[in-house]
Amino acid sequence: MIYLKSEILRIKEEALKNLRELESTEALQELKVKILGKKGSLTAMLRQMGSLSPEERPIMGQVVNEVRTRLEQAWEERSAELDAMALQRRLATERIDITLPGTRISRGHIHPLTQVIEEIEDIFLGMGFQIAEGPEIESDYYNFEALNLPKEHPAREMQDSFYITEEILLRTQTSPVQVRTMEKLHPQLPVKIIAPGKVYRNDDDATHSPMFHQVEGLVVDQGIRMSDLKGILLNFSREMFGESREIRLRPSFFPFTEPSAEVDVSCMLCGGSGCRLCKGTGWIEILGSGMVHPKVLEMGGYNPQAVTGFAFGMGVERIAILKYGIEDMRLLFDNDLRFLQQF
């Protein structure tokens, strides 16, 4: 019995020592099996109690129970310590520095050309115009014939066109939209529309792109005069390029307007005194315009004896270039973020 007792106490002391040294919950579990498991050392001691006398048995039973209670308590304590240590380790390695700057979420914005189109639309909406749209693939009739450009008319060659068949082409201007609108509305008055959109011409250099954008306008009513045209375009120029802008009209020629005029705005860079941008003239051409040709009114379904109208057209890329001082029109189509992010 003496041997048994000292052996049990030795197992206890060794277990407590191991317990203090082990570093993980897995090692803790292993140790528990080694001592209290089926083949554990303390379990083996309990089996040997069969060889003791009836008087010795309860005394040894008490010793074993005390040892078991002591070990279980020590286990719980060490287990709690190990859990706390593991938590400390996680807190140290997974620490988040909430003072670090965050990653910026970059936000897109509207393309500068679309911004300019929307600005032009806003200005004309403010003057009571409506916005009209139409197909980019057009018939020869709407793109040319109805605009007083019959077949073999030399002005057709002014713009090299992209033909799909003999009769179908990519529109070279947004004018067919106005023709279609007149056809649809006549004999209602007034017609007061702008037609923004993409147009296509066989051109490609620093100032011409095979696809570009136009905004054209058309007003038809009784008693429309050239002074109405001038007033609308002066107001547009001032809203677009600044309150102090002036405009001037120079005689020109377009097959669909008579008389026709090119419109210059006083230079937005020098104010009119002459500089590099306006090549010393003080004026910059921004659009073409004129009184709608009687034949064009007639083909749109209106009586040119009873109504008159004015029309104008501008290239949006040109307006954008002038407004923002862009050097090469192709920058507007390259989609280089270093360029686009400036707007």
Residue set of the binding site for Mg(2+): 258
Q: Is 129 in the site for ligand 2U9 (CB under 6 A)?
A: no
Region 298-327 residues binding ligand 2U9, contact defined as CB under 6 A: 311-315
Q: Which is nearer to ligand 2U9, 237 or 257 (CB)?
A: 257
The residue within the footprint of ligand 2U9, chosen from 178, 237, 266, 308 (CB under 6 A), is: 178
CB of 325 to ligand 2U9, least distance (A): 19
CB of 287 to ligand 2U9, least distance (A): 5
d(CA 192, CA 218): 6
The token pair that represents 39 in the structure block:
């083949």
Kindly state the number of chain residues that form the binding site for ligand 2U9, as judged by CB under 6 A: 21
Region 227-266 residues binding ligand 2U9, contact defined as CB under 6 A: 254, 256-257
Q: Is 290 in the site for ligand 2U9 (CB under 6 A)?
A: yes
Q: Is 219 in the site for ligand 2U9 (CB under 6 A)?
A: no
- Three-state SS letters, the chain: CHHHHHHHHHHHHHHHHHHHHCCCHHHHHHHHHHHHCCCCHHHHHHHHHHHCCCCHHHHHHHHHHHHHHHHHHHHHHHHHHHHHHHHHHHHHHCCCCCCCCCCCCCCCCCCHHHHHHHHHHHHHHHCCCEECCCCCEEEHHHHCHHHCCCCCCHHHHHCCCCECCCCEEECCCCHHHHHHHHHHHCCCCCEEEEEEEEEECCCCECCECCEEEEEEEEEEECCCCHHHHHHHHHHHHHHHHCCCCCEEEEEEEECCEEEEEEEEEECCCCCCCCCCCCCCCCEEEEEEEEEECHHHHHHCCCCCCCCEEEEEEEEHHHHHHHHHCCCCCCHHHHCCHHHHCCC
Q: Which is nearer to ligand 2U9, 64 or 185 (CB)?
A: 185
Q: Which is nearer to ligand 2U9, 35 or 263 (CB)?
A: 263
> Residues comprising the binding site?
258
CB of 256 to ligand 2U9, least distance (A): 4
The residue within the footprint of ligand 2U9, chosen from 266, 272, 288, 319 (CB under 6 A), is: 288
Residue with the CB atom nearest ligand 2U9 in the bound state? 288
The residue within the footprint of ligand 2U9, chosen from 112, 216, 236, 307 (CB under 6 A), is: 216
Q: Is 123 in the site for ligand 2U9 (CB under 6 A)?
A: no
Binding marks (x or -) toward ligand 2U9, 18..57, rule CB under 6 A?
----------------------------------------
**Part in contact with ligand 2U9 (CB under 6 A); list of ranges 16-24, 36-44, 283-291, 322-330:** 283-291
Rounded to the nearest 5°, which phi and psi values hold at 187? -95, 20
Q: Which is nearer to ligand 2U9, 67 or 138 (CB)?
A: 138
Burial (CB count <10 Å: 0-12, 13-18, 19+), residue 341: exposed
Interface residues with ligand 2U9 (CB under 6 A)? Answer: 173, 175, 178-179, 214, 216, 218, 254, 256-257, 287-290, 292, 296, 311-315
